[in-house]
Structure 1
Amino acid sequence: MSLLQLLGGEVEKTKLQKLLFLYSQRKQKPEYEFVPYKYGCYSYSASADLKTMIKKEYLLNKENGYVKNDEKDYIKLLKPADKKLLVNTVITYGEMNNDALIQHTYINFPYFAINSTIAEQVLNEKFFKRIVEAKPKQKKKTLFTIGYEGISLENYLNKLVKNNIKLLIDVRKNPLSMKFGFSKTLLKKYCENLGIEYLHIPEVGIDSSKRRKLENQEDYDLLFEDYKNTTLEKTKDNQNIILNLVNKYNRVALTCFEADICQCHRLPLSESIGEIQHNLEIKHI
């Protein structure tokens, strides 16, 4: 809201994302993180917050952008360091139009332009080559595992992109989450927007009723022993499906909630799949 205020209360949607990105790049702990989307740097979380502010009528959603819809002075509510940084960002980049901002971010932050559909049109050969070189190129056949506990949606998605993962397999029994972006429908959408396919295989998940009273590592170890003796024994077909997908896509990730791999069933699951094909590389990210 302070950024809109500094821009005179109105800003184009693409320009807002680019300015917010440039502001965030200057902060040690930014409020928003970004992914390489079809027009460069983009924050799903910021977009969701903007939609909420429109619903609450703090903003008006116009065809060409957003309009501040109240008289409140948000700038005076900022911490001095944030205010200084935001003002400097607007002074430096606020007069640039959309095309200039797109070029600037593509040239200076080429990773965030790797999925751009317009990069070749807006950049000369030299700078476009930088974007091509910034694309992750790992091809070694690997089964990854990843949890989303404690990280933002954008941080999570960037881990997938930077490891050149082609398919995300959701191994939660119930793919629902109170955390923004991690319920099945949204996660599938956000992955596919970045060229990552999504598949849900609930059969290899653990029923929530079995996950109660997990107070220490010993409790988790007992849970996973039961998981190995029951679910993993009954789902050999599903595990072979996952292995076949790894052989097809080369770069596949299993995902669940827990950050600590020792407290998530994706560890025994990946190990079980690794026992089927002994030379399979497994990485936990």
Structure 2
Amino acid sequence: MVGQVTANTLFTIGYEGAVVDDFIATLLKVGVQTVIDIRDIPVSRRRGFSKSALSRHCVDQGLTYVHLRPLGDPKEGREAARAGRYEQFHTIFSTHLGTLSAQSALSEAIKIASDSISCLLCYERDHRFCHRNIVAGEMKRLGAFTLKHIGVPQGR
């Protein structure tokens, strides 16, 4: 499947319900080279998905791992999304994305994704309800990427 991926392809993925081996296998299958973790707080109750463990798993499989915390959804945005207040979530995150630190991280993400086939990582399985969809949309607009939202088989 790597042959079908172009240099300007940007993937997004959520690990909700996944196990780390399946997650890594999914990334490798589509040709991802760099995982861009855009969680505000990169810890997880899901085994293997906290920052240090996930970074080790990625490196062990030849993937580059980068954490760009400024692109994470702030607490208020996460709370609004969890409560199903998606318009409020979108407003909160869009405002956050306009901050200097988020804009700097967005530029860094665009550079990384321009240099290697990359995948934005967050928790939510469905990209439509996750801030990574907003980040990916901005990266597409500014960096002319083709977006592909991929999923991981449900955990065992």
State the TM-score, normalizing by the size of structure 2.
0.87
For 2:78 and 2:33, the matched residues in 1 are separated by 30
Deviation per residue, 1:29-72 (Å, 9 max, x gap): xxxxxxxxxxxxxxxxxxxxxxxxxxxxxxxxxxxxxxxxxxxx
1:215 pairs with 2:83: yes
For 2:130 and 2:70, the matched residues in 1 are separated by 15
The equivalent of 1:257 in structure 2 is 123
- 1, 12, 16: which one aligns with 1:149: 16
Q: CA RMSD in A?
A: 1.6
For 1:275 and 1:222, the matched residues in 2 are separated by 22
The equivalent of 1:112 in structure 2 is none
Q: How many residues align?
A: 146
Identity within the alignment, %:
28
Within-5 A mapping of 1:30-109: none
The answer to whether the 8 Å contact 2:76/2:92 transfers is: no
1:196 pairs with 2:63: yes
1:170 pairs with 2:37: yes
For 1:175 and 1:186, the matched residues in 2 are separated by 10
Query: By how many angstroms is 1:215 displaced?
Result: 2.8
- 134, 147, 150: which one aligns with 1:282: 147
Unaligned 5+ runs, structure 2? 151-156
Within-5 A mapping of 1:23-34: none
**Aligned in 2, Cα 1:238/1:192: closer, same or farther, shift over 3 Å?**
same
1:212 alignment partner, SS class: helix
Amino acid aligned to 1:215: A
For 2:5 and 2:125, the matched residues in 1 are separated by 25
The answer to whether the 8 Å contact 2:77/2:90 transfers is: no
Unaligned 5+ runs, structure 1? 1-134
- Larger RCO, structures 1/2 (Cα 8 Å, 6+ apart): 2
Name the larger-Rg structure: 1
Within-5 A mapping of 1:242-253: 242-249=109-116, 251-253=117-119
Runs of 4+ off more than 6 Å: none
**Aligned in 2, Cα 1:280/1:210: closer, same or farther, shift over 3 Å?**
closer
For 2:119 and 2:125, the matched residues in 1 are separated by 14
2:83 alignment partner, SS class: coil
1:262 alignment partner, SS class: helix
For 2:2 and 2:138, the matched residues in 1 are separated by 28
Deviation per residue, 1:229-266 (Å, 9 max, x gap): x22111222111111111111x1000000001111100
The equivalent of 2:104 in structure 1 is 237
